[in-house]
């Protein structure tokens, strides 16, 4: 056999593969088990959200944003609300209590999303038990959300001009209990994963991306902080009540899967810190601006454009809205972090082994509701 | 003639016992894993879901048996048969209880055959059992995940059976026998071989997980990487035979561990007698079977190349050096040997 | 030293082996829904003023309202259908309703293998959560 007869093995990974987290399809060119080339195919979950936005009133689109990154609905709602508020020029008039509630639910949802991420990431690498431990804690957060908005996954809670309903005393009790017990549970995940030698071997020096490359690929969020960039929109471009709260931005310079894992693990503890401060600081007052209390009242922003963003668990989620002065946007562009990350994947896994692909996919926290929109 | 009849009776009894054990074992595995993960596990069918494995078995019998259109039909059928046959074959040389001297002076062995070369027999059939997996991989009609799984299994079996064999060579050298009962008898008079051979004990323990294909070395069937590997294309009863064989191998390897390193049916106290021996033996075996489940519930999975590194670069040199040390110690007659 | 990382991990799992499971015994023991639970709708035709706010706000457009005329020439509600198959349970229809004619109950077990059974008409919607709705209604009216 001459060398020209040696071909690579083309392997379709996904869209129904257990560790592509939804519907990512990767066409891998394998040399043995070494990845020679990858081409990601997205769009299996395309629902046309950007076009839908053009045919809906601004308020009607809020429940649709829930369906972007369905593990972090609160954060999606928040980013969208900020974008519309900027377009209206009312971002300074949001009631203080609403801002604090927004921070609380966003941070809780960040923990929930990261927990789900640790769970599935660990499952991809073969550790089964952390999955159930993480879901146990996530369940507490979901119960809290069910208490305040009635839904367990797609909340439709953070609205334009504030939040839908005030939080209940039972929510505060649940939150205080959660804040108390979570650090202990966090230690358990650390015992099972962080110092485990197999975990270290599987994640260290895998899927390395330098800070420069990460910026060039448009990577944001924990994946960027895992490359040593101290970039967090909550800190650099504060929104909601983040400017009044004290927290650190964890970042690790290695740029590998392990660094991204550590960033997310540390972020959960920082979120707990933010929640503790919120419990202390939350003021009384209304939770919704009077103008937006009636959701049937049409919003007619002046002609113009705005870009609203938020630091989502997956990365920077942005809504770019162009208005013509009507009650529907002329155009809405959604900047989904998962979409950007999915296309940096071939760069990160080139030359590594098949088993590393699942580790790297896991470390980027790809959510395909968001990527395919 | 009576030997043949006794052999047949033992054969059938062991076959039934092992089948029963596997059924119970699937329940045990699921229940223990569930409780470790804060879940309940099977609970609906029978007392705490004890009949769940039977229900699963009935379900897998009645399931539609799908075969890929391009599959090599004969090999596709043969692969699970090889796997299950070799797994049972190994279990026939394992003693299930200490031997008993009957009134007439004949020793009754609680194994189907009390071979003098039992360990060689075990290795021969462990080696053959990987053919079942390899055939499954290449007969699945060019399906790529089974192919990768079979590749992994082939490499893993080759590298870890060497380690397994070399670690068992130390007790064999010390007892000068390949018969399980003789080796156990050799440990009766002094300490168990695990205390003389801690290194071989640990290397066997690691190799045991790799040969059984259990976490953290379950590369051939890594469900999150290659979607269960070699038996992706199998369905129904044929697929059920692979985990079935794996459970038998787990039992056999645990039993060998106890027989070779932990004194078989000798206990640290309350020694002697058939009942005591029987209880001690099965306590120790059950611990190792539990250890498989326990580790499954705790550890992540190694990567394929890291598994090879551990096998060839760490365990193999260590076991070879250990054999030199054992030979040296035996030759000059060190007091503990 | 001596696989301390493995030992610590194994101890965590062993600890939970002897603890009570945290799961719910769901289909046998029903879960208590919080007060704000957003589940199947209950519709009271006598309260409806036919303002069509719910029809207009509904993002997936799953509500259809049939308004006719009665003998005296007044507007009359002939039908009020909800295609629960399309409903996304956002709760907007409940929020906009000025007379609380439509409310959300905690009835959440309405899965069906036939899609047509998920089209709820006025009579079906009126009987959703029978027995509980009055209490729910009181709560939500406050």
DSSP structure string for A28-44:
EEEETTEEEEEEEE--T
**Tokens 């395309």 -> residue:** A46
Q: Which two tokens stand for residue A261?
A: 């894992």
- Tell me if chain B has a CB within 8 Å of the CB of C2: no
For A126, which residue in chain B has the nearest alpha carbon? B300
Mean pLDDT (whole number) for C67-71? 80
Range among B22-36, B178-192, C109-123, C125-139 with highest mean pLDDT value: B22-36
For residue A126, list chain B residues with Cβ-Cβ distance below 8 A: 215-216, 218, 222, 224, 299-301
Side-chain half-sphere exposure of B236, counting CA atoms within 13 A: 8
In a domain, C129, yes or no: yes
The shortest CB-CB distance from A151 to any of C12, C38, C92 is to C38
Please judge whether C38 and A63 are an interchain contact, meaning their C-beta atoms are less than 8 angstroms apart. no
DSSP class of residue C81?
E
**Tokens 């957003």 -> residue:** C38
Given pLDDT bands bounded at 50, 70 and 90, which one contains residue B60?
confident
B neighbours by CB contacts (3+ pairs under 8 Å): A, C
Torsion angle in degrees (nearest 10) through CA of A65, A69, A70, A76: -40
Q: Is the pLDDT of residue B95 over 80?
A: yes
For residue C95, list chain A residues with Cβ-Cβ distance below 8 A: 164, 295
For residue A196, list chain C residues with Cβ-Cβ distance below 8 A: 5-6, 9
The shortest CB-CB distance from C21 to any of B38, B294, B298 is to B38
For residue C25, list chain B residues with Cβ-Cβ distance below 8 A: 40
In a domain, C28, yes or no: no
The shortest CB-CB distance from A156 to any of C5, C57, C91 is to C91
pLDDT at position A325: 82
Q: Is the pLDDT of residue C130 over 70?
A: no
Q: Which two tokens stand for residue A166?
A: 């005030």
Please state the φ and ψ torsions of residue A353, each to the nearest 5 degrees: -90, 165
Residue A353 makes CB contacts below 8 A (sequence gap 6+) with: A33, A34, A35, B303, B304, B305
CA B122/CA B117 separation, integer angstroms: 9
Q: Is the pLDDT of residue C58 over 60?
A: yes
Q: Is the pLDDT of residue B189 over 80?
A: no
CA C91/CA C103 separation, integer angstroms: 9
* CA A347 to chain CA centroid, nearest Å: 22
For residue A139, list chain B residues with Cβ-Cβ distance below 8 A: none
Give all domains of chain A, ordered by start, each with its CATH number.
Answer: 58-371 (1.10.645.10)
Closest Cα in chain C, distance from residue A354 (Å): 25
Residue C64, classed as helix, strand or coil, is strand
C neighbours by CB contacts (3+ pairs under 8 Å): A, B
Please judge whether A11 and B144 are an interchain contact, meaning their C-beta atoms are less than 8 angstroms apart. yes
Choose the mutation target among A122, A127, A156 for the interface with C, i.e. most C CBs under 10 Å.
A156
For residue C23, list chain B residues with Cβ-Cβ distance below 8 A: 38-40
pLDDT at position A61: 87
Q: Are A156 and C87 contacting, i.e. CB atoms less than 8 angstroms apart?
A: no
Q: pLDDT of B249-279, one tens digit each?
A: 888 888 888 888 887 777 777 766 778 888 8
Range of the domain at C127: 37-141
Residue A149 makes CB contacts below 8 A (sequence gap 6+) with: A155, A156, A157, A164, A165, C36, C38
- Tell me if chain A has a CB within 8 Å of the CB of B313: no
Please state the φ and ψ torsions of residue A146, each to the nearest 5 degrees: -65, -35
Closest Cα in chain B, distance from residue A349 (Å): 14
Q: Which two tokens stand for residue A23?
A: 């519907």
Q: What is the CATH number of the domain that holds C62?
A: 3.30.70.3270
Q: Is the pLDDT of residue C135 over 60?
A: no
Choose the mutation target among C90, C103, C106, C107 for the interface with A, i.e. most A CBs under 10 Å.
C90
In chain C, the number of structural domains is: 1
pLDDT at position C142: 45
Q: List the Cα angle A313/A317/A323 in 5-degree steps.
A: 155
Q: Is the pLDDT of residue C139 over 60?
A: no
In a domain, C29, yes or no: no
* CA B172 to chain CA centroid, nearest Å: 19
> Residues 14..53 of C with a Cβ closer than 8 Å to B: which?
14, 16-19, 21-23, 25
Please judge whether A127 and B300 are an interchain contact, meaning their C-beta atoms are less than 8 angstroms apart. yes
Q: Is the pTM of this model over 0.90?
A: no
Q: Which two tokens stand for residue A71?
A: 């593990």
For residue B216, list chain A residues with Cβ-Cβ distance below 8 A: 126, 198
DSSP E strands in chain B: the ranges are: 100-101, 107-108
Between B222 and B170, residue with greater pLDDT? B170
- Tell me if chain A has a CB within 8 Å of the CB of B329: no
In a domain, C73, yes or no: yes
pLDDT at position B330: 82
In a domain, C65, yes or no: yes
pLDDT at position B40: 86
pLDDT at position B1: 65
- Tell me if chain C has a CB within 8 Å of the CB of A194: no
Q: Which two tokens stand for residue C65?
A: 């309202």
Gyration radius (Cα) of chain B, Å? 21
Q: Is the pLDDT of residue C140 over 60?
A: no
Residue A295, classed as helix, strand or coil, is coil
Given pLDDT bands bounded at 50, 70 and 90, which one contains residue C96?
confident
Sites in chain A below the pLDDT cut of 50: none
Please judge whether A123 and B39 are an interchain contact, meaning their C-beta atoms are less than 8 angstroms apart. no
């Amino acid at each position: 056999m001459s060398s020209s007869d040696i071909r690579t093995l083309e392997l379709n990974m996904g869209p129904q593969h257990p560790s592509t987290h939804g519907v990512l399809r990767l066409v891998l060119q394998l040399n043995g088990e070494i990845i020679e080339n990858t081409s990601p195919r997205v769009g299996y979950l395309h629902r046309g959200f950007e076009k839908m936005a053009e045919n809906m009133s601004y308020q009607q689109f809020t429940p649709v944003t829930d369906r972007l990154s369905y593990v972090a609905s609160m954060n999606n709602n928040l980013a969208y609300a900020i974008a519309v508020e900027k377009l209206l020029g009312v971002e300074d008039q949001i009631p203080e209590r609403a801002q604090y509630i927004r921070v609380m639910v966003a941070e809780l949802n960040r923990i929930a999303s990261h927990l789900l991420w640790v769970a599935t990431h660990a499952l991809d690498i073969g550790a089964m038990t952390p999955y159930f431990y993480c879901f146990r804690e996530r369940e507490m957060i979901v119960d809290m959300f069910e208490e305040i908005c009635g839904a367990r996954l797609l909340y439709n809670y953070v609205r334009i001009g504030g939040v839908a309903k005030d939080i209940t005393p039972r929510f505060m009790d649940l939150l205080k209990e959660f804040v108390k017990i979570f650090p202990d549970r966090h230690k358990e995940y650390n015992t099972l994963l962080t110092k485990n030698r197999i975990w270290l071997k599987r994640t260290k020096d895998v899927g390395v991306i330098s800070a420069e490359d990460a910026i060039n690929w448009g990577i944001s969020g924990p994946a960027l902080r895992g490359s040593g960039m101290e970039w967090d929109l909550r800190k650099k471009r504060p929104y909601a009540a983040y400017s009044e709260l004290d927290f650190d931005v964890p970042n690790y310079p290695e740029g590998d899967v392990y660094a991204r894992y550590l960033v997310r693990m540390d972020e959960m503890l920082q979120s707990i810190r933010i929640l503790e401060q919120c419990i202390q600081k939350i003021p009384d007052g209304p939770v919704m601006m009077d103008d937006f209390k009636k959701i049937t009242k049409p919003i007619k922003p002046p002609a113009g454009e705005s870009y609203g963003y938020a630091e989502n668990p997956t990365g920077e989620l942005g809504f770019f809205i162009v208005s013509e002065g009507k009650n529907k946007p002329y155009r809405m562009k959604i900047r989904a972090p998962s979409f950007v990350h999915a296309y940096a994947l071939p760069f990160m896994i080139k030359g590594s082994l098949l088993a590393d692909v699942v580790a790297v996919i896991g470390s980027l926290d790809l959510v395909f509701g968001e990527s395919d929109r | 003639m009576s030997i043949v009849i006794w052999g047949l009776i033992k054969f059938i009894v062991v076959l039934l016992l092992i089948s029963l054990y596997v059924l119970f074992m699937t329940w045990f595995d699921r229940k223990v894993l569930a409780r470790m993960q804060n879940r309940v596990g099977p609970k609906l069918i029978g007392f705490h879901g004890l009949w769940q494995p039977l229900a699963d078995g009935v379900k897998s019998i009645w399931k539609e048996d799908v075969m890929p259109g391009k599959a090599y039909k004969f090999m596709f059928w043969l692969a699970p048969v090889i796997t299950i046959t070799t797994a049972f074959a190994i279990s026939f040389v394992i003693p299930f209880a200490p031997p008993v001297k009957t009134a007439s002076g004949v020793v009754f062995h609680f194994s189907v055959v009390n071979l003098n070369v039992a360990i060689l027999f075990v290795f021969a059939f462990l080696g053959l059992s990987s053919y079942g997996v390899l055939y499954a991989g290449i007969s699945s009609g060019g399906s790529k995940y089974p192919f990768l799984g079979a590749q992994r299994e082939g490499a893993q079996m080759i590298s870890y059976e060497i380690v397994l064999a070399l670690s068992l060579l130390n007790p064999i050298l010390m007892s000068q026998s390949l018969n399980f009962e003789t080796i156990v008898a050799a440990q009766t008079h002094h300490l168990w071989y695990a205390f003389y051979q801690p290194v071989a004990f640990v290397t066997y323990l690691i190799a045991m997980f790799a040969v059984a294909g259990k976490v953290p070395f379950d590369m051939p069937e890594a469900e999150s990487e290659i979607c269960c590997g070699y038996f992706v294309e199998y369905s129904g009863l044929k697929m059920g035979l692979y985990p079935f064989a794996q459970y038998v191998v787990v039992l056999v390897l645990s039993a060998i561990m106890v027989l070779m390193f932990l004194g078989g049916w000798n206990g640290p106290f309350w020694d002697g007698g058939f009942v005591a021996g029987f209880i001690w033996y099965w306590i120790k075996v059950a611990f190792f079977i539990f250890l498989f489940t326990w580790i499954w519930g705790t550890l992540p999975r190694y990567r394929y190349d890291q598994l090879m590194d551990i096998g060839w670069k760490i365990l193999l040199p260590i076991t070879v050096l250990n054999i030199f040390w054992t030979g040296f110690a035996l030759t000059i007659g060190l007091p503990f040997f | 030293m001596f696989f301390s990382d493995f030992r610590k991990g194994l101890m965590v799992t062993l600890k939970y082996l002897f603890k009570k499971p945290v799961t719910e015994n769901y289909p046998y023991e029903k879960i208590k829904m919080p007060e704000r639970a957003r589940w199947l709708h209950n519709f009271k035709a006598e309260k409806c003023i036919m303002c069509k706010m719910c029809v207009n706000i509904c993002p997936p457009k799953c509500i259809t309202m049939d308004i006719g005329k009665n003998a005296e020439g007044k507007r009359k509600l002939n039908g009020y259908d909800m295609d629960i198959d399309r409903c996304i349970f956002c709760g907007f229809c409940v929020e906009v309703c000025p007379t609380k004619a439509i409310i959300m109950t905690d009835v959440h077990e309405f899965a069906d293998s036939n899609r047509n059974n998920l089209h709820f008409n006025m009579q079906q919607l009126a009987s959703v959560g029978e027995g509980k709705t009055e209490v729910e209604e009181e709560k939500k009216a406050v």
